[in-house]
Structure 1
């Protein structure tokens, strides 16, 4: 099962505050362990929303909204994509990550990733083949970029 772990932003992270040296070291150790065990698929910290933008498409109209965004509690400061055997295992890793985070965020949202079965008949054989080809290309791109 794949899960996306989203570390919520804090007022401090949104202001550009950096995690402490202790927190970075502790989180690095947890990430290294997840990678060693084959659990970690991807992870990164995110810059404050002032460095980002949102895109909207409504009734054919495009709109770009530059950050920063007001609702800090709804923003994401970082993420991990993990693959584990169960929800319980995702919870265990989540608690370890929160402890390592040293109070920088204090909140973590974990969401299960959709699988082909979740889309039922809407995922045609053609769409599935395209999805598989895209997944292979994504792995190649990650390998080429060193990710």
Structure 2
């Protein structure tokens, strides 16, 4: 099962405060463990919402909203994409994570949908398209290396 592990933003991350050398080292070591275990597929930190934008959809209308965004507790400071056997395994890995912030922080774990989750609405044609797009993404990633 694939999960997205979401590092929630804090006042520090929203202020643009960069991690210390000690934290970068600890997180690097943790990421190395994840990679060696075959769990980590991707992971990145995000700039504060002051550098972001949102696009609000209302029917055919699109409205662009500039950051920063008010509710820090609802914002994301970074993420990982993991392949794990179960939600329990993901929780155990998160328990081993260094605190990603200097202050109290929170990490959320959410399961990523798989094709089977969509049922009959995910037609054979849609499945074929999805597989083709994933293959193209992988090919593009290999070209950029």
Q: TM-score, normalised by structure 1?
A: 0.93
Deviating more after overlay: 99-108 vs 114-123: 99-108
Unmatched segments (≥5 aa) in structure 1: none
Give the conservation status (yes or no) of the 8 Å contact 1:19–1:104.
Answer: no
Contact 2:13 / 2:77 at 8 angstroms: preserved in 1? yes
Structural mapping, 1:50-129, within 5 Å: 50-97=50-97, 99-101=98-100, 103=102, 106-129=105-128
Once the two structures are TM-superposed, the CA of residue 13 in structure 1 deviates from its matched residue by 0.6
Q: Which shifted more, 104-113 or 59-68?
A: 104-113
Q: In 1, Cα distance between the equivalents of 2:103 and 2:5?
A: 15
Say whether residues 1:20 and 2:27 are aligned partners: no
Partner residue, 2:34: 34
Say whether the 8 Å CA contact 1:7–1:79 is kept in structure 2: yes
- The residue aligned with 1:46 is 46
SS of the residue 1:56 aligns to: strand
The one-character-per-residue Cα deviations of 1:78-121 (angstroms, maximum 9, x if unpaired) are: 00000011111100111122x35254561001000111111000
User: Aligned residue for 1:141?
Assistant: 140
Q: 2:99·2:105 contact (CA, 8 Å) conserved in 1?
A: no
Partner SS state of residue 18, structure 1: coil
Whole-angstrom CA distance in 1 between matches of 2:91 and 2:18: 25
- Contact 1:40 1:81 survives alignment (8 Å): yes
Q: Which runs of 5+ in 2 are unaligned?
A: none
Q: Secondary structure at the match of 1:77?
A: strand
Q: Which residue of 2 aligns with 1:4?
A: 4
